[in-house]
Amino acid sequence: MYLPSPSFVNAGDNAWQLTAATFVGLQSIPGLAILYGGLVKRKWAVSSALFAIYAFAAVLVVWVLAGFNEGFGHPMIGHLVGVPQPVLGALSEQTRASIPLLHGLMPNFAFPQSSLIYFQFVFAAIAPVILAGGIFGRMNLRAWMIFVPIWSLLVYSVNAFMLWGGGALAQMGVVDYSGGYVIHVAAGISGFVAALMVGPRTLKDQRDFKPNNMLLAIAGAGILWLGWNGFNGGDPYFASSDAAAAVLNTNLATAVALLAWFFLDIGLNRKLSVAGAINGMICGLVAITPAAGYVDGVGAILVGLFGAVVPWYTMNRLSGRWPFRKADDTLGVVHTHFLAGAVGGLMVGLVANPAMVVYPGTGGTAPASIAGLFYGNPHQLVLQLLGLVVVTAYTGAMTAGILKAISLVVPLRMSEKELEAGDRLIFNEEVFELHHPIPPPEPIDTPAAVGVDRAPALG
C-alpha cells in the first residue's frame, strides 16, 4: 500500500536516521548482551544478558510515556528539564520533528517526530545497559527492575535536556556531540556508585572471574564497534558531510585506541589479552563520542590515543588505590566509560576544529561551530570541564539516592545462596548445560533386561 510522505520529509535523511537508530539498538541487543555474556564468569552469563534485555524494554516504555519530553520537550524548572508527558498520539508521531529550545538554531529537521523519538530512545536504552557492567555478579534482579526506569527518568533524561535539549549547560556553551557526557560519563559514575552501594562480589568470584567465552565476547565487541557508526553518524540529524566525517573519525579513533592499549600491554604488562584489546576498542569508541563531528582526523587520532592511555593507566596501575579500590566494579566501567568519556569531552575543549560542523545545503559552517584551545578558544575547555563536573556530581548523587530508596523496599543484593550458585539457582538456566555421559544400555539378553535369574557360570 502506497502512502505518500509529507512534503517536509527528505527520504535520505529519514532513512539514515532510522538506520542509524537500528545500528545503535543493535549495540545493546544483541551487542552488549553477548559481550557481557562472554566476558563474565559462566554462572553469571544468563543474568548479565537478561539485565541488558530488560533495560532495553523498560526504557522504551518510560521513554514514550515521559522520558522523551523530559529530555527534548518544552522546559520547566528553568531550563533544567522538560515537561514529562507522553508522545503516543498521531500528532506526536507524524508531525515534523522538533526540539523546542533549539528551534531556529539549526535547520529544520527533514523527518517526522517518530524518527527522532526512536533515535533518541536507543541512546536512552544503552545508558543503563552500560551501567550494568559495574554490578554483575551480585545485584538483585528485582532491585534492577525498579532502578532502571527511575534512573532513566531522573538521571538520563535530565542530563539529555541539559546538554541536548537546549537546557542550562547547552545554553552556557557546553557541548557533547553524541553522548560522551550524557551516556558514558553518567553510566560510568553510576555503575561505580552502584557497585559501591550493592557491595562486592563473593571473594571466590573476585579471585576467579575468567571470561567464559572469548569468541562470543569478540562477536559482541564487533557489533558494538560497527554499531557505533549509527551512534555518532546519526547525531548530526542529517545524512550530511558532518555525519560522514563523524563516522570516519569514530573508526579512526577506535583503531588508534585499540592499538595503543595493545602496545601498552606488550610493552608494560609483557602480555597480550583479547579482553584488553576489547577494552581499548571500547575506550576509543567512548572517547570519540563527545567529539566525533567537532574534530578533524588529527584530532580523532589524539582523542583515540589519550582516550586509551588514561583508562589503561588507571585500570592497570591505580585499581588498588583510592578511589578505585572502594568499589568492586565488575567490568571496570569507571575506567572504560567514565574516564574515557571525560577525556573525550575535555579533548573537545582542546582540538575541536570550527571548520568541521557544516550545515546541510549551505556549504558554510554553523553559526555555533565549536573551536577548542588549539584553535584560539580556551574558554571551551573551561566549559567542557564545567559540564563534566555538573554531570558527574548530579548523576552520582541521584544514583545514590535512588538506590538508597530502593533498598528500603527490596534488597539491593542477592542472597548468599544466589551469590554462590548463580544463574542455575536464580533462573534454573545456564548459558549452556554440562551433561554427564549417559551409560550405554545393557545388552538385550542380560538377566536385568529380560527379568530372568541366571546362575553364575562355573569356572
How do the domains of the chain map onto residue ranges? 19-427
Between CA 220 and CA 278 the distance in angstroms is 10
Task: Answer yes or no: are the C-beta atoms of 160 and 104 closer than 8 Å.
Answer: no
Residue 394 has phi, psi (to 5 degrees) of -65, -50
What DSSP character marks residue 145? H
> What is each CA distance from 176 to 24, 380, 426, in whole angstroms?
17, 12, 40
Cell of 440: 550405554
Contacts of 411 (CB under 8 A, 6+ apart): 140, 143
Q: What is the pLDDT of residue 459?
A: 34
- Print the SS3 string covering 148-160: HHHHHHHHHHHHH
Cα atoms found within 13 Å of the Cα of residue 125, Cβ hemisphere only: 33
Between CA 43 and CA 134 the distance in angstroms is 17
Helix pair angle (113-131, 141-151), 10° resolution: 140
Between CA 459 and CA 457 the distance in angstroms is 6
Cell 559540564, located at residue: 387
- Answering whether pTM is above 0.75, one says yes
One-letter identity of residue 285: L
pLDDT along the chain (459 residues), means of 10: 81 97 97 97 95 98 98 91 95 92 85 97 98 97 98 98 96 96 98 98 94 96 98 94 96 98 94 93 98 97 98 96 95 98 98 83 61 96 98 98 98 97 89 59 48 38
Task: Answer yes or no: are the C-beta atoms of 224 and 285 closer than 8 Å.
Answer: yes
Left (φ > 0), alpha (ψ -120 to 50) or beta: where does 298 sit?
Answer: alpha
> What is each CA distance from 131 to 184, 282, 342, 367, in whole angstroms?
9, 14, 16, 35
* CATH number of the structural domain 19-427: 1.10.3430.10
Q: What is the pLDDT of residue 125?
A: 98
Between CA 14 and CA 73 the distance in angstroms is 20
Helix pair angle (141-151, 379-407), 10° resolution: 140
Separate counts of helices (H) and strands (E) for the chain: 21, 2
CA–centroid distance for 155 within its chain: 14
Q: What is the pLDDT of residue 5?
A: 81
Task: Answer yes or no: are the C-beta atoms of 329 and 134 closer than 8 Å.
Answer: yes
Cα atoms found within 13 Å of the Cα of residue 170, Cβ hemisphere only: 22
Helix %, strand %, coil % of the chain (to 5): 65, 5, 35
Give the containing element (helix H, strand E) for 76: strand 75-76
Task: Answer yes or no: are the C-beta atoms of 232 and 289 closer than 8 Å.
Answer: yes
Between CA 202 and CA 140 the distance in angstroms is 14
Q: Beta strand 75-76 with 81-82: parallel, antiparallel or unpaired?
A: antiparallel
Q: What is the pLDDT of residue 221?
A: 98
Q: What is the pLDDT of residue 71?
A: 98
Task: Answer yes or no: are the C-beta atoms of 286 and 339 closer than 8 Å.
Answer: no
Task: Answer yes or no: are the C-beta atoms of 358 and 366 closer than 8 Å.
Answer: yes
Q: What is the pLDDT of residue 77?
A: 82
Which residues partner with 96 through β-bridges?
A: 112
Which residues partner with 75 through β-bridges?
A: 82
Contacts of 47 (CB under 8 A, 6+ apart): 136, 141, 422, 423, 426, 427
Cell of 62: 518510560
The CA angle 449-450-455, to the nearest 5 degrees, is 100
One-letter identity of residue 30: P
Give the containing element (helix H, strand E) for 163: helix 157-163
Indicate if the alpha-carbon torsion angle 58, 22, 92, 235 is positive or negative.
Answer: positive
Cis preceding-peptide flag for 360 (omega within 30 of 0): no
Q: What is the pLDDT of residue 447?
A: 45
Between CA 458 and CA 212 the distance in angstroms is 55
